Amino acid sequence: MKYLKFMPLCLFSLFSLLGCKANEGEPLDIIPKPVSAKTFEGFFTLSSATPVLYNFDFEMGSLLIETLTNHLSDYYKIEGSAATYSAKQSKGSVFLKLNPDAKVHNEGYKLKVNKRGVVLEAKELSGLFYGVQSLIQMMPAESGAYESIEIPFAVVEDYPRFSWRGLHLDVCRHFMPKEFIFKYLDFMAMHKLNTFHFHLTEDQGWRIEIKKYPLLTEVGSKRKETIVGHGRSSKEYDGTPHGGFYTQEDIKEIVKYAAERHITVVPEIEMPGHALAALASYPHLGCTGGPYEVATKWGVFHDVMCAGKESTFEFLENVLAEVLELFPSEYIHIGGDECPKTKWKECPLCQQRIKDEGLKDEHELQSYFIQRMERYLNSKGRKLIGWDEILEGGLAPNAAVMSWRGEAGGIEAAKQKHNVVMSPGSHCYLDHYQADPKTEPLAIGGFTPLDKIYSYEPVPDSLSVEESAYIMGAQGNVWTEYMKTSDHVEYMVYPRAAALAEVVWSPKAERSYAEFLDRLRKLARRYEYYGLNYSRVEFMK
């Protein structure tokens, strides 16, 4: 026992004798992995006596300052005095330095830890925010009551590979409470994900208050029951009504909460398909005039919005007008996926439209529909993004494509010089199984384990360097047909979203799955502390 006590000391002297330095060159446990991180011998000791300083308007960056100070007080019980303004670093402090002239990339940061203290520098608040996330992950993974903590001496230079680092959530198949959306955004921020694709309307529920059309939520946000078991085989229903929606006040809170965390919320208002909830509320929107019912099972429905009636476009423009007021995002998602053309083929008004506009067929009618919506959005200074079906019948002139049926749509769009978000079902669908279905809760199907997501490369080989520039990034999609609760959503999303975060942030050449798993084990301590119901399946192997 006696000897053991001296062991570390002996080892230390041995290392010094041999010229080895304790933590020099040791990797940092940051996810997503930084572009460059060098560690040096030694640690900076942070205690309640360590000042936290910042050189910008507190109002602007209060959240990032508090993210750091709250972490210290909650996770390690290190209660410092309040952070204070200072134009310069003082010795032994943590200095958050906003510097418009800093030589760092957009959203990037530079972090230096040495015996003088910690300096985190960025030219934008987003960079400082991401730097704080990294700094936190350089601290001990174990929570507890600490007198002080040690942060390894290091120089980290970091910035994202892609500008669209997306995570989606379908709140229509199952409604998720506002408080959960906040938590979802918190974890996105921890992983430096910056685009929340909020899927708000569907066959099974309309989830956003639109003042001009109150029936959308009075009628469209409720379904009388829900299919039990797998949609492909089941005929059983639960007999329990399901509903819920976000008021415009809720939406404002969500958008603000996200913005403080440097997350853009991109709303999706589905058209012309996946729209039964809207049709049930306002039956004139459909080709036959109904009656329609909010869907109680999953799938693709033949009743879609009528492309022949002017009133459909009037409705959609009015809805979007309110949506644009609530969401400042550059892109607005209009869906566009899985729209059967059966009703349009039989509808005299749709056929008339095809004739009047000189269109070839119903695919071109869909294209006409999307192009009209694009003109509206462009006239309001916004851009349209839609699922890859919007390529069929001709892409609207400025539209961006979200490629989900594999990568072909994304490749085609990039070749046509349109922006693209890659989200192929093969790698980016977090509603798929992550392990053997026999041991997992019921899911839609597929098989997308952690290592498969980690292996994803968003830029296809078949694109030239110029074409590759149209790939804005990638996104994980979370369709909730089989996720009734927020706990279940968390189980499906994490840690797979951590793998995706590294795909969209870290340099391709820096990625290694084995080493990612090591870092993930440390990050999982934080997941536990913050009560995230993540899947442990990869740690049990």
Return the closest-CA partner of residue 420 out of 450, 454, 383.
383
Residue placing its CB nearer to ligand TNX in the complex, 253 or 338: 338
Residues 6+ positions from 127 with CB-CB distance below 8 Å: 104, 106, 107, 108, 109, 159
Sequence-separated contacts (24+) of 463-467 with Cβ below 8 Å: 463/411, 463/414, 463/415, 467/414, 467/415, 467/417
Contact 172, 204 (CB under 8 A): yes
Which residue number places its CB atom closest to ligand TNX? 479
Q: How far is the CB of 481 from ligand TNX (least distance, A)?
A: 6
Residue placing its CB nearer to ligand TNX in the complex, 403 or 419: 403
Q: Using the rule CB under 6 A, which residue among 157, 322, 337, 510 binds ligand TNX?
A: 337
C-alpha distances in angstroms, 46 versus 9, 144, 179, 322, 483?
Answer: 23, 15, 33, 48, 42
Instruction: Map residues 295-334 to x or -, x wherever contact with ligand TNX holds by CB under 6 A.
Output: ----------------------------------------
Site for ligand TNX in 136-155 (CB under 6 A): none
Residue placing its CB nearer to ligand TNX in the complex, 243 or 425: 425
Total residues contacting ligand TNX by CB under 6 A comes to 9
Examine residue 338 and tell whether it contacts ligand TNX (CB under 6 A). yes
Q: How far is the CB of 294 from ligand TNX (least distance, A)?
A: 15
Q: What is the dihedral of CA 508, 186, 49, 125, to 10 degrees?
A: 60
Q: How far is the CB of 333 from ligand TNX (least distance, A)?
A: 10
C-alpha distances in angstroms, 367 versus 47, 360, 395?
Answer: 61, 11, 7
Q: How far is the CB of 206 from ligand TNX (least distance, A)?
A: 15
Q: Using the rule CB under 6 A, which residue among 40, 159, 162, 429 binds ligand TNX?
A: 429
d(CA 524, CA 539): 10
Beta-strand relationship, 383-387 and 331-335:
parallel
Site for ligand TNX in 442-471 (CB under 6 A): 444
The DSSP result for 136-168, as a single string, is HHTS-SS-S--SEEEEEEEEEEE--S-SEEEEE
Q: How far is the CB of 334 from ligand TNX (least distance, A)?
A: 12
Q: Using the rule CB under 6 A, which residue among 130, 315, 479, 527 binds ligand TNX?
A: 479
Q: Using the rule CB under 6 A, which residue among 368, 387, 470, 494 binds ligand TNX?
A: 387
Q: Verify cis geometry, omega within 30 degrees of 0, for the bond prior to 34.
A: no
- Looking up tokens 């529920």 gives 205
Contact 139, 149 (CB under 8 A): yes
Residue placing its CB nearer to ligand TNX in the complex, 317 or 338: 338
d(CA 442, CA 291): 33
Examine residue 392 and tell whether it contacts ligand TNX (CB under 6 A). no
Site for ligand TNX in 106-135 (CB under 6 A): none
Examine residue 510 and tell whether it contacts ligand TNX (CB under 6 A). no
- Looking up tokens 């952690």 gives 450
Q: How far is the CB of 203 from ligand TNX (least distance, A)?
A: 8
Residue placing its CB nearer to ligand TNX in the complex, 196 or 429: 429
Residues 6+ positions from 379 with CB-CB distance below 8 Å: none
Q: Using the rule CB under 6 A, which residue among 124, 260, 303, 431 binds ligand TNX?
A: 431
Instruction: Map residues 268-297 to x or -, x wherever contact with ligand TNX holds by CB under 6 A.
Output: ------------------------------
Instruction: Map residues 399-418 to x or -, x wherever contact with ligand TNX holds by CB under 6 A.
Output: -----x--------------
Site for ligand TNX in 65-94 (CB under 6 A): none
Residue placing its CB nearer to ligand TNX in the complex, 8 or 229: 229
Tokens of 183: 């938590």
Residue placing its CB nearer to ligand TNX in the complex, 54 or 387: 387
Residues 6+ positions from 55 with CB-CB distance below 8 Å: 85, 86, 87, 88, 95, 96, 97, 98
Binding site for ligand TNX (CB under 6 A): 337-338, 387, 404, 429, 431, 444, 479, 481
